[in-house]
Structure 1
Amino acid sequence: MNNTRLKSVRFITEAAVIAAMYAALTIFLAPISSGQVQVRLAEALTILPYFTSAAIPGLFAGCLIANFFVGEGIYDILLGPLVTLLAACITAKILNKYLVPLPPVILNAVYVGILLYFTAELPIIPTTVLVAIGETIACYALGYPLLLLLEKQREKIFERK
């Protein structure tokens, strides 16, 4: 098998594994993965685009699958993965590791706040703040330590040979 083909297989495999991990974590932890007060622990994985571009489609697919089971209706199934995709694309461009968890925190807080305002008639400001707190827990309290751990193992895990 040539090198280009191996890279393609590896990319697809990485994306699929990330999608499966995101979806499984979200679905398994459904009671805390959606709503006004949520800590979607799978959001810790949103640091992965810092290491591999395969995380971008992986997070999108994982969020799409998860939102079928624990999302806030059709709008969340359709729009939630797009917000995750945008956050992943931004995250992939960030060079400062301290800022890597920030795009999903900001984008999801705003998106979910607006979504719940329109679908559940929840007040937008408190909902946005509560979602931001949950995202900060997932992305900074869990995701950032994961980033530091993976950074130490970067060559073994993510470098293409």
Structure 2
Amino acid sequence: MRENVSLRRLSEGAVIAALYTVLTVGLSPISYGLFQCRVAEALTILPAFTPSAIPGLAVGCLISNTIGLAMGLNVAGPLDIVLGTLATLLAALCSYALRNIRFKGVPVLSALPPVLFNAVIIGAELSVAFNHPLWLSMLVEVGAGELAACLVLGVPLATVLVKTGAAERIFGQNTVKRI
């Protein structure tokens, strides 16, 4: 039985990594660059539903940033492979930690760590790489796109997963704290 759970979690993480990569690379004109809005960041709400999303998102980001670098699209260079993956991993851990704080059953607060970590870490990275003011890089170049992806796309995704019962069917989620 334990092997089935481990295999299920590994498969969930792999699917999330693949989805993140396909969305990022498939929408590369808006996924990479100085001003970016990674639609794949909507998936950063998934740690609220499964711990498998934590490594899945980190691996998806690592693969996406590596492909972006190989294609000449990742303007921040090799450092983004490390820092981007770190930002995603830290955000996923915090989103997971906030998973039980819900509003009408939806883990809204879990959408905030990716916005904050990416705005700060990637914003600082872009500020240094392009010699831009730190506030501009954090708030405009990264933060605005991240906010759109996580709140405008991620929260509705979570709402659909909760309200349709898909979260429970897909991830086996059954415990929530309501506020």
TM-score by length of 2: 0.85
1:78 to 61, 71, 82: 82
How far apart, CA to CA, are the structure 1 residues paired with 2:60 and 2:97?
21
Q: Give the structure 2 partner of residue 39 of structure 1.
A: 37
- State the identity as a percent: 47
Q: Give the structure 2 partner of residue 157 of structure 1.
A: 170
Gapped regions of structure 1 (runs ≥ 5): none
Gapped regions of structure 2 (runs ≥ 5): 69-73, 102-106, 174-179
How far apart, CA to CA, are the structure 1 residues paired with 2:114 and 2:167?
22
How far apart, CA to CA, are the structure 1 residues paired with 2:4 and 2:35?
42
How far apart, CA to CA, are the structure 1 residues paired with 2:136 and 2:123?
8
Measured on the aligned residues, the alpha-carbon RMSD in Å equals: 1.2
Q: Give the structure 2 partner of residue 60 of structure 1.
A: 58
TM-score by length of 1: 0.94
* SS at structure 2 position matched to 1:99: helix
Aligned-residue offset at 1:118: 1.4
How far apart, CA to CA, are the structure 1 residues paired with 2:122 and 2:2?
39
Q: Give the structure 1 partner of residue 156 of structure 2.
A: 145
Q: Aligned partner of 1:104: which letter?
A: P
CA deviation profile, 1:36-88 (whole Å, cap 9, x unmatched): 31110000000000000000000000000000122321110112101100100
Q: How many equivalent residue pairs? A: 158
Aligned-residue offset at 1:127: 1.4
* Residues 17, 56 of structure 2: 8 Å contact kept: yes
2:128 to 118, 135, 145: 118
Q: Give the structure 2 partner of residue 10 of structure 1.
A: 8
